[in-house]
Protein backbone atom coordinates (compact mmCIF):
# COMPACT_ATOMS: atom_id res chain seq x y z
CA UNK A 1 0.00 0.00 0.00
CA UNK A 2 1.71 3.21 -1.19
CA UNK A 3 1.49 6.45 0.80
CA UNK A 4 0.60 8.35 -2.39
CA UNK A 5 -2.39 6.97 -4.30
CA UNK A 6 -2.41 6.72 -8.08
CA UNK A 7 -4.79 4.88 -10.40
CA UNK A 8 -3.12 1.64 -11.50
CA UNK A 9 -3.90 2.25 -15.15
CA UNK A 10 -4.85 4.91 -17.66
CA UNK A 11 -5.31 4.90 -21.41
CA UNK A 12 -5.89 7.12 -24.40
CA UNK A 13 -5.67 7.27 -28.14
CA UNK A 14 -3.02 9.17 -30.08
CA UNK A 15 -3.58 12.91 -29.94
CA UNK A 16 -5.79 12.75 -26.86
CA UNK A 17 -5.16 14.44 -23.50
CA UNK A 18 -4.76 12.17 -20.48
CA UNK A 19 -4.44 13.05 -16.81
CA UNK A 20 -3.01 10.96 -14.00
CA UNK A 21 -3.89 11.80 -10.42
CA UNK A 22 -1.83 11.47 -7.26
CA UNK A 23 -3.48 11.79 -3.87
CA UNK A 24 -1.61 12.28 -0.61
CA UNK A 25 -1.94 14.04 2.73
CA UNK A 26 -0.95 17.19 4.59
CA UNK A 27 2.43 15.72 5.55
CA UNK A 28 3.55 15.08 1.97
CA UNK A 29 1.82 16.68 -1.01
CA UNK A 30 0.06 19.22 1.20
CA UNK A 31 3.33 20.73 2.40
CA UNK A 32 6.01 19.71 -0.12
CA UNK A 33 6.76 19.73 -3.81
CA UNK A 34 5.55 16.94 -6.07
CA UNK A 35 7.79 15.23 -8.60
CA UNK A 36 6.74 13.02 -11.52
CA UNK A 37 8.79 10.27 -13.19
CA UNK A 38 8.37 8.32 -16.41
CA UNK A 39 9.67 4.77 -16.63
CA UNK A 40 9.75 3.23 -20.07
CA UNK A 41 9.78 -0.59 -20.19
CA UNK A 42 13.13 -2.02 -19.08
CA UNK A 43 14.72 1.33 -18.33
CA UNK A 44 15.51 3.52 -15.34
CA UNK A 45 13.04 6.22 -14.27
CA UNK A 46 13.37 9.66 -15.82
CA UNK A 47 12.41 12.95 -14.20
CA UNK A 48 9.42 14.46 -15.97
CA UNK A 49 8.18 17.20 -13.62
CA UNK A 50 9.80 18.75 -10.55
CA UNK A 51 8.56 21.25 -7.97
CA UNK A 52 4.91 20.59 -8.91
CA UNK A 53 4.96 22.04 -12.43
CA UNK A 54 8.51 22.58 -13.67
CA UNK A 55 9.87 20.69 -16.67
CA UNK A 56 13.54 19.76 -16.94
CA UNK A 57 15.19 20.78 -20.18
CA UNK A 58 14.40 18.30 -22.91
CA UNK A 59 10.97 17.32 -21.61
CA UNK A 60 8.30 18.29 -24.15
CA UNK A 61 5.71 20.87 -23.12
CA UNK A 62 3.06 18.23 -23.81
CA UNK A 63 3.76 17.18 -20.23
CA UNK A 64 2.48 19.42 -17.44
CA UNK A 65 2.00 19.14 -13.70
CA UNK A 66 -0.29 20.79 -11.18
CA UNK A 67 -1.01 20.62 -7.48
CA UNK A 68 -3.97 21.60 -5.34
CA UNK A 69 -4.11 20.94 -1.62
CA UNK A 70 -3.15 17.32 -0.99
CA UNK A 71 -3.51 16.17 -4.59
CA UNK A 72 -1.50 16.53 -7.76
CA UNK A 73 -1.98 15.72 -11.42
CA UNK A 74 0.14 14.98 -14.45
CA UNK A 75 -1.36 15.88 -17.81
CA UNK A 76 -0.14 14.60 -21.15
CA UNK A 77 -1.54 16.28 -24.22
CA UNK A 78 -1.13 15.21 -27.84
CA UNK A 79 -0.63 11.62 -26.70
CA UNK A 80 1.97 9.61 -28.63
CA UNK A 81 2.73 5.90 -28.77
CA UNK A 82 6.12 6.52 -27.17
CA UNK A 83 4.36 7.90 -24.07
CA UNK A 84 3.31 4.35 -23.18
CA UNK A 85 5.10 3.85 -19.87
CA UNK A 86 4.72 3.73 -16.10
CA UNK A 87 4.33 7.07 -14.35
CA UNK A 88 5.13 7.71 -10.69
CA UNK A 89 4.52 10.68 -8.42
CA UNK A 90 6.75 11.37 -5.41
CA UNK A 91 7.10 13.83 -2.56
CA UNK A 92 9.02 14.37 0.64
CA UNK A 93 7.01 13.40 3.74
CA UNK A 94 7.30 15.39 6.98
CA UNK A 95 5.91 12.66 9.22
CA UNK A 96 7.83 11.16 12.15
CA UNK A 97 10.11 9.18 9.87
CA UNK A 98 11.09 11.88 7.41
CA UNK A 99 11.38 10.20 4.06
CA UNK A 100 10.47 10.21 0.41
CA UNK A 101 7.19 8.62 -0.62
CA UNK A 102 6.23 7.35 -4.06
CA UNK A 103 2.88 6.60 -5.61
CA UNK A 104 2.19 3.04 -6.66
CA UNK A 105 2.57 3.97 -10.32
CA UNK A 106 0.18 4.28 -13.25
CA UNK A 107 0.57 2.18 -16.35
CA UNK A 108 -0.35 4.34 -19.35
CA UNK A 109 -1.50 2.49 -22.45
CA UNK A 110 -1.75 4.25 -25.81
CA UNK A 111 -4.52 2.48 -27.70
CA UNK B 1 26.89 14.67 -18.82
CA UNK B 2 25.67 13.32 -15.50
CA UNK B 3 26.50 9.64 -15.09
CA UNK B 4 25.68 7.30 -12.23
CA UNK B 5 26.98 3.74 -12.45
CA UNK B 6 25.96 1.17 -9.85
CA UNK B 7 27.85 -2.00 -9.06
CA UNK B 8 27.95 -4.71 -6.42
CA UNK B 9 24.63 -6.44 -6.98
CA UNK B 10 24.26 -10.21 -7.19
CA UNK B 11 22.84 -13.31 -5.58
CA UNK B 12 23.08 -13.59 -1.80
CA UNK B 13 21.55 -15.94 0.74
CA UNK B 14 19.02 -14.75 3.30
CA UNK B 15 20.86 -13.25 6.26
CA UNK B 16 23.83 -12.33 4.10
CA UNK B 17 25.43 -9.01 3.29
CA UNK B 18 26.16 -7.01 0.18
CA UNK B 19 27.72 -3.62 -0.49
CA UNK B 20 26.49 -1.56 -3.41
CA UNK B 21 28.58 1.20 -4.92
CA UNK B 22 27.70 4.08 -7.21
CA UNK B 23 30.32 5.97 -9.20
CA UNK B 24 29.24 9.50 -10.06
CA UNK B 25 30.60 11.79 -12.76
CA UNK B 26 29.65 14.84 -14.78
CA UNK B 27 28.66 17.00 -11.80
CA UNK B 28 29.99 18.27 -8.47
CA UNK B 29 29.16 15.23 -6.35
CA UNK B 30 29.82 16.94 -3.03
CA UNK B 31 27.10 19.53 -3.75
CA UNK B 32 24.17 17.13 -3.92
CA UNK B 33 22.07 14.95 -1.70
CA UNK B 34 22.19 11.37 -2.99
CA UNK B 35 19.63 8.59 -2.78
CA UNK B 36 19.04 4.88 -3.20
CA UNK B 37 15.69 3.76 -4.63
CA UNK B 38 14.70 0.16 -5.29
CA UNK B 39 12.18 -1.65 -7.45
CA UNK B 40 11.14 -5.22 -6.73
CA UNK B 41 10.42 -7.36 -9.82
CA UNK B 42 7.17 -6.22 -11.41
CA UNK B 43 6.54 -3.68 -8.64
CA UNK B 44 6.73 0.07 -8.16
CA UNK B 45 9.47 2.34 -6.92
CA UNK B 46 10.40 2.40 -3.25
CA UNK B 47 12.71 4.97 -1.72
CA UNK B 48 15.35 3.29 0.45
CA UNK B 49 17.67 5.97 1.84
CA UNK B 50 19.29 9.31 1.21
CA UNK B 51 22.27 11.23 2.52
CA UNK B 52 23.13 14.92 2.78
CA UNK B 53 26.04 16.48 0.94
CA UNK B 54 28.47 16.16 3.85
CA UNK B 55 27.01 12.93 5.22
CA UNK B 56 25.70 14.63 8.38
CA UNK B 57 22.08 13.61 7.74
CA UNK B 58 20.86 10.21 6.65
CA UNK B 59 17.30 8.92 6.30
CA UNK B 60 15.98 5.41 5.76
CA UNK B 61 12.70 3.71 4.97
CA UNK B 62 11.47 1.90 8.09
CA UNK B 63 11.86 -1.56 6.58
CA UNK B 64 15.66 -1.23 6.26
CA UNK B 65 16.49 0.74 9.42
CA UNK B 66 19.15 -1.03 11.45
CA UNK B 67 20.09 -3.28 8.52
CA UNK B 68 21.19 -0.90 5.74
CA UNK B 69 23.73 1.92 5.96
CA UNK B 70 24.13 4.66 3.37
CA UNK B 71 27.47 6.43 3.09
CA UNK B 72 29.47 8.51 0.67
CA UNK B 73 33.07 9.42 -0.16
CA UNK B 74 33.15 12.85 -1.74
CA UNK B 75 36.85 12.52 -2.56
CA UNK B 76 36.03 9.48 -4.69
CA UNK B 77 32.70 10.77 -6.03
CA UNK B 78 31.10 7.61 -4.74
CA UNK B 79 27.93 6.57 -2.94
CA UNK B 80 27.52 3.30 -1.04
CA UNK B 81 24.82 1.13 0.46
CA UNK B 82 25.89 -1.50 2.96
CA UNK B 83 23.12 -4.08 3.23
CA UNK B 84 23.17 -6.58 6.12
CA UNK B 85 20.72 -9.23 7.31
CA UNK B 86 19.23 -9.40 3.85
CA UNK B 87 15.74 -10.83 3.38
CA UNK B 88 13.89 -12.23 0.39
CA UNK B 89 11.79 -9.05 0.30
CA UNK B 90 14.94 -6.99 -0.34
CA UNK B 91 15.18 -8.57 -3.80
CA UNK B 92 15.03 -5.66 -6.25
CA UNK B 93 16.86 -3.50 -8.72
CA UNK B 94 18.64 -0.83 -6.71
CA UNK B 95 19.04 2.58 -8.31
CA UNK B 96 21.52 5.24 -7.32
CA UNK B 97 20.02 8.69 -7.87
CA UNK B 98 21.04 12.31 -7.52
CA UNK B 99 19.10 14.55 -5.16
CA UNK B 100 16.82 14.26 -2.16
CA UNK B 101 14.02 13.86 -4.66
CA UNK B 102 16.03 12.49 -7.60
CA UNK B 103 16.63 14.16 -10.91
CA UNK B 104 19.17 11.77 -12.45
CA UNK B 105 19.15 7.99 -12.01
CA UNK B 106 21.64 5.23 -12.72
CA UNK B 107 20.72 2.11 -14.67
CA UNK B 108 20.41 0.02 -11.52
CA UNK B 109 21.96 -3.14 -10.13
CA UNK B 110 19.98 -6.29 -9.35
CA UNK B 111 20.09 -7.77 -5.87
CA UNK B 112 18.59 -11.23 -5.47
CA UNK B 113 18.18 -12.68 -1.99
CA UNK B 114 17.51 -16.39 -2.23
CA UNK B 115 18.75 -19.71 -0.92
Nearest-CA neighbor of A41 among A76, A89, A86, A104? A86
What's the pLDDT score for residue A1? 78
Quote the pLDDT of residue A98: 59
Q: In B, which residues are within 8 Å of A98 by CB distance?
A: 59
The residue-averaged pLDDT of B93-114 equals 97
Over residues A14-36, the mean pLDDT reads: 97
Confidence of residue A95 (pLDDT cuts 50, 70, 90): confident
- 3-state DSSP assignment of residue A42: coil
Contact A111, A21 (CB under 8 A): no
What is the overall mean pLDDT for chain A? 95
8 Å CB contact between A36 and A102: no
Nearest to B100 among A92, A102, A103 (CB): A92
**Which of A50, A56, A98 is opposite residue B59, by nearest beta carbon?**
A98
Question: What's the CA gap between B106 and A101, in Å, rounded?
Answer: 19
Q: What count of CB pairs under 8 Å joins A to B?
A: 55
Amino acid sequence: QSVLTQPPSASGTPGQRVTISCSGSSSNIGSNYVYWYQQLPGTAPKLLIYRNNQRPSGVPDRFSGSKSGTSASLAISGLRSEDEADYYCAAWDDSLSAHVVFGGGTKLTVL
Amino acid sequence: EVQLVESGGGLVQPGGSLRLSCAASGFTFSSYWMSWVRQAPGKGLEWVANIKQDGSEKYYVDSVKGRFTISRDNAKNSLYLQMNSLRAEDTAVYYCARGKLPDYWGQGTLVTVSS
